[in-house]
Structure 1
Amino acid sequence: MNQPPKPSKQAVWSLILGILSNLCLWILGSIPAIILGIIGMKKADADPENVGGKGMSLAGLICGAVGLMVGFLPVVTVAGIIASLTMPAAVSISENAKLTVEMNQARQIILASHHYAGDNDGNLPPDLQTLVPDYLDDPALLKVESPDGSMADFLYRTGLNIEKAGLSDPVILSPNTRMGKRVVGFLDGQVKALRDSERAGIDSQFSGF
């Protein structure tokens, strides 16, 4: 009776590493187990009379694949946790940066409006477009980026006179709410990012709001 062919070394080591990959080696054992399993199966197919262990190679390959998935599971889990923790922080940084940009734009608009008023008996411009180009070089400063990516105009109070209005009167208002705040520019040059509760009576002073 003929003895069955001995399994190749690749088949033996594939099974050993495949088992260990599920116990302790994980990725370190699973990848070699898969590679050796494939080699062992090819050797058995190429010379079935002298080389055995095809089933052993297949078992090692399967164990290695399972070990690979088990090894990657913690990595994927940790990556998901890190992403969930960092995403809000990234959004917060981005929104705060946009708030800062809007505040800088508002300051430049109010400064330009003061220069206009100095040349027009204290009257602020009838609309913000009037500031361009004599008092404001860049018309892009009059627009802010909306959450949907489109550009929107600052809201503006018309009919104010710098000598008659109160210095604490609001002049411009951002159309956007970021981090629960809107940028408000006041006649005295102050620019603040205010929450809804801090803007009581302000929003209603702007037409189109």
Structure 2
Amino acid sequence: MSKQTSKQLDYNTLRQIFARFHAQEPEPKGELEHVNAYTLVVAVALSAQATDAGVNKATRGLFKVADTPQKMLDLGEEGLIEHIKTIGLYKQKAKNVMKMSRILVEEYGGEVPSSRAALQSLPGVGRKTANVVLNMWWGVPAQAVDTHIFRVGNRTGIAPGKNVDVVERAIEDNIPAEYQQHAHHWLILHGRYVCKARKPMCGNCIIRDLCPYEDKTL
């Protein structure tokens, strides 16, 4: 296994790193397609152990007919399955989406709540999903730590930690405040397209000179 750094980078280095991310992409966006808060929650819940591209392919047709909790209930579980059966764990995800939709209709008037606790109480919505929704829809600088962020955070020293909760806190505690809103998107995109798991593309990395990762590729 490639060596990972466990040392937290200093504040000045972090500021330089995120200034470069900002200069390259001032307004990074998530890649999951959605049309409102509800479809965002559904898309993120469906994306667990699946690719964004695969989820988008399935939900383009789905969200044309079911873009609210009530419309999803009207579609029914079998109808939902027909749209998402190409996604991993689709049967359990379909059950969760239907339960979530019913709760939103019966307890929240069909609206998606804006609190982390309320979001996490919904079936199929964990902390990562809640943080994505808080960040992307409500503008809260919440940090949704996925496998890409966990890897990049530890490999580079941007946000080291033994688990996702520690990495999340490292981002919140150490990355300059003005970069918090977009931090998780910059890190996800960097991990997805540059700092890849098996063979990071260090030659194309805009923070290569600031990164202490020992096993850099050419």
Which structure has more relative contact order (CA 8 Å, sep 6+)? It is: 2
Of Structure 1 and Structure 2, the greater strand share is in 1
Same fold (TM over 0.5): no
Q: When you count helix as a share of all residues, which structure comes out higher?
A: 2
TM-score by length of 2: 0.24
Larger radius of gyration: 1
